DNA sequence: CTGGGTGCAAATTCTTTGCAGCTTT
DNA sequence: AAAGCTGCAAAGAATTTGCACCCAG
């Protein structure tokens, strides 16, 4: 792994703390699922986590993995790559632009930024491969969702602009 | 729409040019599907494109929409939000970091950058909502895929670090 | 014309849900 | 003991595929 062993312990401690605070049970499965994601450095999907955990907990089921991953996500202990729980979305803009994504609803808005466009990719990244595009993803909660308050999720972006 | 009417014409012209060059037929469906994505500023998913196009072409089918969208993506005429054709992937790192994603295989690598971490969100974006996180997505082709050449897609990232 | 493209319907893949029994608190 | 979790199996989305007919080149 990339990070020191301490880091895993710290993440697990955080899981414990959050579960206690929110009143969630700290089951064997939850710990192992969280550990699997925390230990991997390549951002596994649910199926991959399932395979990994199953090596240690043979009775684990795939649906528990899904339920737990989304639970951890709601608790803020893990995040997702790309928009959350969303089918693939397409973009016809080929010029350099960036995205603001609302974590509550499906809203995504483009924006331009000369500063962001000017970003130069670090040398270590260039060593990973050929870079074709660099764009900034800003996540947050849109004004409409913020107005509606609460932590619940809205399925429909309000502003039709 | 946000961009001038000319822009749509330019995008359609580009579609024509690319199809001709590659020897693809310029069907009514392809034009309408492309137009639907090009005209929308909220990054529709396949289902939404389907609904939109169906208003003008009642016989369109959802599978044609999928096929066409992925075709346009391969031609470089549209892109996707988040990783392409990939189930949801999870990330247990909560500290600020960024991603390099290979467009050929499923490889995703984290990297750190003080410069990227220091980015400040433009005022107009802050008006869209509350920002919780800013990260940079670098897309390209990893060294292993580059070595394998060709435009085909590899399903398995080779390097196990 | 002729082959690529489309529509249909069925198949996959990814993810969620209802329910009965088992585990943490 | 009580409520929350889990595993199972079945349901539900999202996406893909096989095949016969049709249209752009």
Residue B159: per-residue pLDDT: 47
Selection from B127, B146, B151, B98 nearest residue A119 by Cα: B98
- Which of B89, B110, B136 is opposite residue A41, by nearest beta carbon? B110
Give the pLDDT band (50/70/90) at residue B161: very low
Q: What is the 3-state secondary structure (H, E, C) of A88-136?
A: CEEECCCCCCEEEEECCCCCEEEECCHHHHCCCCCHHHHCCEEEEEEEE
Selection from B126, B42, B89 nearest residue A138 by Cα: B126
pLDDT per residue, tens digit, chain A (161 aa), is 555 678 899 999 999 999 999 999 999 999 999 999 999 989 999 999 999 999 999 999 999 999 999 999 999 999 999 887 899 999 999 899 999 999 989 899 999 999 999 999 999 999 999 999 999 999 999 999 998 865 555 655 654 44
pLDDT digits (tens, 9 = 90+) for B3-61: 567 889 999 999 999 999 999 999 999 999 999 999 998 999 999 999 999 999 999 99
CA distance B152 to chain A (A): 16
Chain C: positions less than 7 Å from a protein CB are: 4-10, 13-18, 23-25
Long-range CB contacts for residues A36-40, cutoff 8 Å, separation at least 24: A37/A69, A37/A72, A37/A78, A37/B90, A37/B91, A37/B92, A38/A8, A38/A11, A38/A12, A38/B92, A39/A1, A39/A8, A40/B92
Residue A7: per-residue pLDDT: 87
- Which string of b and e fits B58-75 if b means at least 16 CB within 10 Å? eebeeebbbebbbbbbeb
Residue A156: per-residue pLDDT: 57
What the block records as the tokens of A112 is 């331009």
Q: How far apart are CA A59 and CA B12, in angstroms?
A: 54
CA atoms within 13 A on the CB side of B90: 29
Report the pLDDT averaged over residues B76-98. 92
Give the pLDDT band (50/70/90) at residue B148: confident
Q: Confirm or reject contact between B149 and chain A (CB < 8 A).
A: no
Nearest CA in chain B to A3: B93
The distance (Å) linking the CA of B72 with the C1' of C10 is: 26
Whether the Cβ atoms of residue A157 and residue A143 lie closer than 8 Å to each other: no
Whether the Cβ atoms of residue A98 and residue A119 lie closer than 8 Å to each other: no
Beta bridge partners of B108: B101
Distances (CA, A) of A55 to A32, A33, B161: 11, 11, 21
Residue nearest to nucleotide D7 (CA to C1'): A61
Residue A6: per-residue pLDDT: 84
Beta bridge partners of A131: B140
The distance (Å) linking the CA of B63 with the C1' of C11 is: 13
């Amino acid at each position: 792994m990339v990070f020191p062993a301490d880091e895993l312990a710290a993440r697990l401690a955080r899981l414990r703390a959050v579960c206690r605070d929110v009143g969630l049970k700290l089951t064997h499965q939850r710990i192992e699922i969280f550990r699997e994601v925390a230990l991997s450095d390549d951002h596994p999907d649910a199926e991959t986590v399932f395979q990994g955990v199953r090596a240690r907990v043979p009775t684990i089921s795939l649906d528990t993995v899904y339920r737990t991953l989304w639970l951890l996500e709601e608790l803020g202990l893990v995040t997702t790559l790309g928009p959350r729980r969303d089918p693939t979305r397409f973009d016809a803009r080929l010029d350099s632009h960036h995205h603001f994504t609302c974590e509550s609803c499906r809203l995504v808005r483009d924006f331009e930024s000369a500063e962001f466009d000017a970003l130069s990719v670090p040398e270590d990244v260039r060593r990973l491969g050929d870079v074709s595009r660099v764009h900034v993803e800003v996540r947050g909660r849109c004004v409409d969702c913020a107005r509606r308050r609460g932590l619940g999720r809205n399925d429909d972006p309000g502003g039709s602009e």
